[in-house]
Amino acid sequence: MRQENRANGADEPPSKKRKIAQKFRYGSILSLNFTNFMTFTHAALNPGPHLNLITGPNGSGKSSFFCALFLVLGGSPKLIGRSPSARDFIQHSKDTATIEVELCTPQGTVRLKRVILLNESKWFINNVPKTEGEVHKVVARNNIILDNLTQFLPQDRVKAFATLSPVELLQKTEEAILDPAVVQLHDQLIGIGADLAKSLREQQDTKQVLEVLSAQNKAALKEVERHRHKQQLLRKREECLLAIPFFEFARKQKQGSALNTKVEEAKNALSVEQEKEEKTQSQDLDLKRKKLDFKIQQTAYAKKKFEDQRETLQTTFEKVTHETEGLLEEESLLEERRVQRERGLQQATAELKALETAVVASVPLSQLEESVREKAEEVRQLGEQYERILDQLGHQRKRVAATHAELNQTTELLNRASSVHSTRLGVTWQTTPNCVEVWHWIEAHRALLIGNVYLVALELEVSTGDPLHAKYLEAAIPRWLMNSFVCEDPADQAVIAAEVRDKLHKQFCLILRPVAGDSPPPSRLCDLEVIRPFGITHWLDQIFRAPASVAAAILDNVPVQKVAVGTAETAGCFQQLSQRVPTLQTIFTPDEQYHVTESRYNHQRSTRVSPLHPPRLLIQAAANTDALKESVERIKRTLVELQAQVQRSQTTEQQARMERERCHQQKMDLQTAWEQNKGLRKRLEHKKLEVSRAQKFGDVAAERQRIRSRIKTLNQKRASALAGITEALKGTVEHTLQHTLDSFERDRVQELHRVFQEEAKHKQTRLNDCRKKAATLEAEYTQLKADLMHLRRQALEKRAEYEKRWDVSTDQSIAILKALPDNVEKLQADARAAQLEAEAIYADPAVLIEYTNRANQIRQLSARLDTLVCEHEALARKLATSKERWLTPLTQAIQELNLKFQSRCEAQGITGVIELDYKDESNFGTYGIELSCSFRAGEAMHRLDPYRQSGGERSVVTILYLLALQSLNQCPLRVVDEIDQGMDASNQRKVFYQMLDACAEPDTPQSFLITPKLLPDMIPSNALNWTCL
């Protein structure tokens, strides 16, 4: 790139030399620098105060200067016509682009700077960070209008300038040459004209509606009169019906007085019956009956006692008699028994000797007892050993079961981790297929990479296990960051960029974030305990986990450490929380996201509440599949070892069980031998006792004497028992007789008691009848009072409805009721007559309603029409005043502009004219500039449009119009990009020299002309700043 400054050269003809002032207008460009912008790594431009020429072949980057100047002044990329996004102007394979410009302002030199990043732009004024709005203010203060094609005409919008309508051309011209106050007057006139037309239409519509409504009311007047007469009859009927409840109330009051008298009489009769009630002897008879019952019980008890005594003595007598008979029989068999006892003694003596021999030959009993005890101890020890083996086997089986469960759980986690991994890749494929393809490439070429490379969407996990937190993370972390790759080594970044982005042409975001050492704790807005009473439980960076480089990349791009995670109660106390921590801008609750913003102008705070959507990506936390696979293999090995231990323990258990059963059988055999030995010794002792008793048997005569003595004693007992039985029978008979007499007396007393009870019941029945009668009358009186209250309330409600319907006061309604007759039949007859007469009159109620509504509408529309007339007159006066103030300077400016345009066209060899045109004088939105031209002799002038004139002709007219504007324009600069593309050599030379003439005039704006070609010997030497690429 070569930049030359030419001044007062000798190569230019004297007639073409120009004298250019060296003073910059306020708002002019002093310097322009940009780095990594479009095709330039670095470029700089130091323009002059007037014409600045930028030339170079196609594709050399001429338009880069125009685009850089446009963007650094805050222009939208869409207005350039190349790309809607500023990031597309960054040089290929670069991440940022920087543009700097110096402006000449009344306050001195101002340096504006814009740094374009992949996702945003940063703004600086004099190297101080500012907002885009503050840059726009600086540009506007210096009268630079970026969207006005008379100031900035890019290469891709030359045709757009030619296609401007007359109205649009007038708007752009006004902005360029008129005072802003005059331009505002035009906008006001357009609004006033629209308001006038609207007011006139509304007046006409209102008048038409008034005429229609008045005619309709006039036609319906007779029907309304009939309806009003019918309403009077219905009112009379309603008055008669209204009086009936009041007269019914008076009649009921009289009935109540009579009924109250009957109630008092019934109460008096009840008092008399209560006084006549006499005391009976029921209590005395009941006491006597109770005494007789007690006496009968005592007699029955004594009778039972004698009967029991008789039965006891009878039993004793029978027993003694039986024993006596036995002794007599024993005496008769005494000799026979002696012979039998001698034989039994001999047999018992032989058996005794055999038992003594067997006892001597058997094992001693103490020795058997000692063997049984030893064997029992051995059985106990074997049992304890067997229980220990069983416990050990049970413990081992539990370990096997637990290991099986752990293996199943780990296998399930491994399957789930693989499923979550696939699910996340599927969701990512739906939105960004390139990311999934790049991830597969990285997985297949891990051997080429030095460090770790992560896909953020696969590595992010919710550490708390709460599904709500997954929803918060997806709402807070942008999707482009979720689909980004994080690289820890710069060499890996270069490899992936070269192999995937350059060769495979895959577009993706790759973030370089080396693993740092111990990072300091994140800065907090406040301590969590301060905001915990408002339902805040976490900061957002506390609810997820990820590899260190991924977490650092997230913190670099999203301030998650300053985002609060709340609960449902946080929504109710959001205002208090905002006042407690004013710097807290983002809060999550289970259903909504609260985002607080502050205005840059008046510092007012506003809150935007956004609903939260269910998570699609972070459905579960993905597990480390390699670690899970290692865990599965380790658990399987442990399970095999435990199963072998269980097998060995089962063998040991079978051996111990068999040994315990064998020892137990030996113990049972010894126990049986001990019991048999003990039984043998017991039979020996019994046999010895039997022999001893047989040897002690005495003489038969002595035995006979003993038996006779016993029989005598028993006979005495029989005589005594017989005497007792006689006395008992005597007492039983006496008490039975007394019991019978007492029973008769009790039955007589009970009968008397029953008679007295029946008489008392009859008296109580009469008393209850009196009470019921009194209660019935009391209830009838109470019901009558309730009916009176209901009737009174109903009458008052009807009177209130009547007063509300006919709009009368209470005093008036009372007076109307008093004027009516007090005969209910007469009132009913009058009501029926009024109803019949009203029914005979046919009147549509809707007619009266419509009549009333139309009357109200007529009043409202009449008032509205008067208001509209006043408003229309005020708008007309305001329009006349504003039109004069706007049209006068506009006409003068267009006339002056027309003269200059005609002069420029004559110098170019063509004919052109500028006229102010309008279709409707009162419609200021139709005012426009008619730009007409003729390029050939004898040809009529035609309006400039993209269909009649060629591209070169349109370019010539466009540049001539801009040059004509230059002397009238108050803007500080003008930029034209490749306006001469379609011009021939003659037109290009003439236009170029006219631009030099324009720049030689005093107080002209700074101009930039960007062109790919110049004719030979065309560059003058007077006051030209030329940059050649």
Task: Give pLDDT, residue 517.
Answer: 63
Q: Which amino acid is at 119?
A: N
Cα dihedral across residues 490, 494, 497, 500: positive or negative: negative
Please give the backbone phi and psi of residue 611, each rounded to the nearest 5 degrees, phi first.
Answer: -70, 155
In this structure, the chain runs to a length of 1029
Instruction: Give CA separation, 148 vs 132, 171, 886, in Å.
Output: 19, 9, 21
Distance CA 586, CA 563 (A): 5
Res. 422: pLDDT tops 50: yes
Tens digits of residue pLDDT in 27-67: 889 999 999 998 888 999 888 887 787 888 777 787 888 88
Dihedral (Cα; 372, 376, 379, 383), 10-degree rounding: 170
Which of 83, 151, 327 shows the shortest CA–CA distance to 958?
Answer: 151
Task: Give pLDDT, residue 277.
Answer: 45
Is 715 in a helix, a strand, or coil? helix
Q: Which residues contact 204 (CB under 8 A, 6 or more apart)?
A: none
Q: Round the average pLDDT of the chain to a whole number and report it.
A: 77
Res. 967: pLDDT tops 70: no
Q: What is the C-alpha radius of gyration for the chain, rounded to an integer number of angstroms?
A: 64
Task: Give pLDDT, residue 11.
Answer: 38
Q: E strand or H helix at 539, and its extent? A: strand 538-539
Q: Find the mean pLDDT for residues 735-761.
A: 77
Tens digits of residue pLDDT in 303-332: 778 778 878 878 888 887 887 777 777 667
HEC secondary structure over 188-224: HHHHHHHHHHHHHHHHHHHHHHHHHHHHHHHHCHHHH
Question: Is residue 789 very low, low, confident or very high in pLDDT (cuts 50, 70, 90)?
Answer: confident
Strands (E), 372-472: 453-455, 461-462
Q: Find the mean pLDDT for residues 888-913.
A: 84
Task: Give pLDDT, residue 34.
Answer: 92
Q: Which residues contact 571 (CB under 8 A, 6 or more apart)?
A: 589, 591, 592, 594
Distance CA 4, CA 814 (A): 110
Tens digits of residue pLDDT in 978-1002: 666 666 777 777 777 777 666 666 6
Considering only residues 859 and 948, tell me which one the structure prediction assigns the higher pLDDT.
859
Residue 1023: CB atoms within 10 A of its CB come to 22
Cα dihedral across residues 790, 793, 796, 798: positive or negative: negative
Contact 942, 933 (CB under 8 A): yes
Give the DSSP per-residue string, 844-912: -HHHHHHHHHHHHHHHHHHHHHHHHHHHHHHHHHHHHHHHHHHHHHHHHHHHHHHHHHHHHHHHHT-EE
Lowest mean pLDDT among 326-330, 419-423, 672-676, 880-884: 419-423
Highest mean pLDDT among 322-336, 858-872, 930-944: 858-872
Tens digits of residue pLDDT in 461-478: 887 777 788 888 888 888
- Percentage of the chain modeled with pLDDT above 70: 82
Considering only residues 619 and 33, tell me which one the structure prediction assigns the higher pLDDT.
33
Tens digits of residue pLDDT in 348-406: 777 777 777 777 777 777 777 888 888 888 888 888 888 888 888 888 888 888 888 88
Task: Give pLDDT, residue 340.
Answer: 67
Q: Find the mean pLDDT for residues 664-673.
A: 82
- Whose tokens are 């208001």? That residue is 867
Question: Is residue 14 very low, low, confident or very high in pLDDT (cuts 50, 70, 90)?
Answer: very low
Res. 124: pLDDT tops 90: yes
Considering only residues 977 and 573, tell me which one the structure prediction assigns the higher pLDDT.
573
Considering only residues 753 and 886, tell me which one the structure prediction assigns the higher pLDDT.
886
Question: Is residue 696 very low, low, confident or very high in pLDDT (cuts 50, 70, 90)?
Answer: low
